[in-house]
Structure formats: C-alpha cells, structure tokens
Amino acid sequence: METAKMGKNKNALHIADIIAKPEAMVALVLILLCLLLIFLRPLSFPTPRNIFNVLRQSSLVAILAVGMGMVIITGGIDLSVGSVIAFTACMSMAFYRAFAVPPIVVLLLALGGGLFMGIINGVLVSKLGIPPFIVTLGMLSVGNGAALVISNGNPIKYQASWVSVFGGGYIGLMPVTVLVMVVVLILGHVFANYTQMGRNIYAVGNSQQAAKLSGIFVDRVIITVYAITGFLAGLCGLILVGQMDSGDPSFGKGYELDVIAAAVIGGISMTGGEGNILGVLLGALLMGVLKNLFIQLAVSGYWQTIVLGLVIVGAVAIDCIRKKRAAR
C-alpha cells in the first residue's frame, strides 16, 4: 500500500513539475487558441493549406528565436536581427546584379554577411564591454542604413535559382522553409543541451564571474551566440530572397520585437541562465496563430501590435513572479 502511495505521489509530482514549466502553459494557450479558431472558423482555419501557411509565417521567427534565445540566456539582447536580414539580402543581391555571381556565391554572401555582423556585435559586447542593448541598437541603424545605401531604397530583382528553393520551394503543401526551421531547431537544441559550448552558455547566463572562475572563456561564448544569431539572420535574408525573388531594404522590419517575444513566450528567461531552445517554437507558433486569428476574424492589424506588446509584458511578468516564488 505504502509503495503504491509513493508511486502515486511521484507521478503527481512529475505531472506538477511538467505543468510548472513555462512551455506547458504556452502549449495549453496554443491549443485553446486553435480550438477557438476551429469553433469560430471551421471551414477556413483547420484546412491543410492554412495550417501550412501558419507554419510558414512562423518559421522565420522561430529560426531567429533559436539564436536570440541563446543570446538572452547569456544575459544579452540582439535588436539588430531585422536589419541584418535586410543588409544580407540587399548585399548578396547587389553582388548578383553587379557581377552575375552564381547561386552558391549568393548563398555564401548572405550567410557570411550575417555571420560577420554577428561577430562584430559579439566582439563589441565582450571585448569592449559595451552594453548589448546599445551595441545592437546601433547595429540596427547601421544595417538598415547599409541596406538602403546598397539598394538605393529599391528592391533588387533576383532570377530564381536553386537558392530560391529555401524560401519559395514546396514539397507538396509543405513549404521548404518549414523544413529548414525544423532542422535549425533540432541543431539548436542539440547544440545547447549536448555540447560543452552549450552548457557554457547557460553557465555564463547564471553568472559570468563564476563562469570565469570555472575556466570558461566568457568572451568566446558571447561572441559565439551573437555569431550564431547573425548567421541565422543571414539565412532568413536568403529565405526572403527566395520568397520574393528580390532583396529589399524593408526585409526584416520589426522582426526584432517578434523574435524577442517568441523567445520570452517560449520560456527563455530575460534574466539569463534559463530556458529551453525548443520552447521558442511554441512562442513562434503562438504568435503565428494569434496573427491568423486576427486575419480570420477580420480584426484590424493595428490591434496585433497592442496584443503582442501585452503578451510580451505578460510573459516577462509571469517569469518574474515564478522566480520570486522559487527564491522564497
């Protein structure tokens, strides 16, 4: 009898631990939103085409949120992701227009440009000690300005090639962008949880001083997470080029808010040192379903910004309350 009671208690504790996780609450809200939309729009929301459309719209945010999540876990922030998308798209298209470079060079320019911008952010934060908010806010202006200078404020057309498949390709109804998102999420999860560098990211977020005393090269860790975020921004620039067959200086506008929201909603703590990389998918999907809800119900898009802001504040408030309770 006592053994059975102990088993029940353990099961109850295990279930309680799962429910206490931020991701569980987000998953519950996501399910309820989907059920609400199925009830309100039974003919338009649950169709395969609309579901894949929501996944496609959420994919870029989820991809970027993998890198942003790592940055936030270290105690930083990156406000430049949207401008890096615009810069890499316009820069790679400018080379294509000027020199007719092959698709592989377009791919390397976009990814390399994003990686370079990310490394600059990481070096300025780690080596010079400039606050991440200031560094990335400045880089946001630099990236946007560079994109406008390169493109002269106009889209640069691109003739579709195999590179376009990343953004505009489909396998049946499945967008290739969704498959790219899945690969990035899996690699990000493995990197953060099963590599030494991944464990160091959490250690730096918990305490940089303790990490240094433990022999961790903190500067290297910080540069790495910003470099990953820049690389993923370059990937998103490439995806948008594939979707639009052009490089446009307006690409990525406002993405920084969406990406930070997806990371925070997905359980990444703004105080650093805590969070699950796979949780960002739930955050991105929740935002995608919310936007689809506004479209399905024909609600003005202006309300989306208000609701998104409230969701971010609510997610951060819940995280702070949870941490205060845990500290008691």
Do 88 and 74 form a contact (C-beta atoms < 8 A)? no
| Residue 60 belongs to domain with CATH number | 1.10.3470
Please tell me the number of Cα atoms within 13 Å of 292 on its side-chain side. 28
pLDDT band for position 2 (cuts 50, 70, 90): low
pLDDT tens for residues 236-250?
999 999 999 999 999
Q: Is residue 126 part of a domain?
A: yes
pLDDT at 3: 55
Residues 6+ apart with CB under 8 A from 178: 52, 55, 56, 59
Structural domains counted in the chain: 1
Hey, what are 167's tokens? Answer: 């953004």
pLDDT at 7: 53
Domain span at 168: 23-33+49-327
Q: Is residue 44 part of a domain?
A: no
Q: Is residue 38 part of a domain?
A: no
Residues 6+ apart with CB under 8 A from 78: 67, 68, 71, 121, 132, 136, 226, 229, 256
Chain mean pLDDT for the chain: 89
pLDDT tens for residues 273-295?
888 898 999 999 998 998 888 88
Q: Which amino acid belongs to residue 16?
A: A
Q: Is residue 1 part of a domain?
A: no
pLDDT tens for residues 45-71?
888 999 999 999 999 999 999 999 999
Q: Which amino acid belongs to residue 5?
A: K
Burial class (CB in 10 A: 0-12, 13-18, 19+), 318: middle
pLDDT at 14: 52
pLDDT at 296 over 90: no
Outline where DSSP puts E strands in the chain. 156-157, 170-171, 174-175, 246-247
Q: What's the whole-model pTM score?
A: 0.91
Q: Is residue 181 part of a domain?
A: yes
pLDDT at 5: 53
Q: Is residue 289 part of a domain?
A: yes
Q: Is residue 191 part of a domain?
A: yes
Q: Is residue 41 part of a domain?
A: no
Nearest C-alpha neighbor of 119 from the set 127, 131, 107: 127
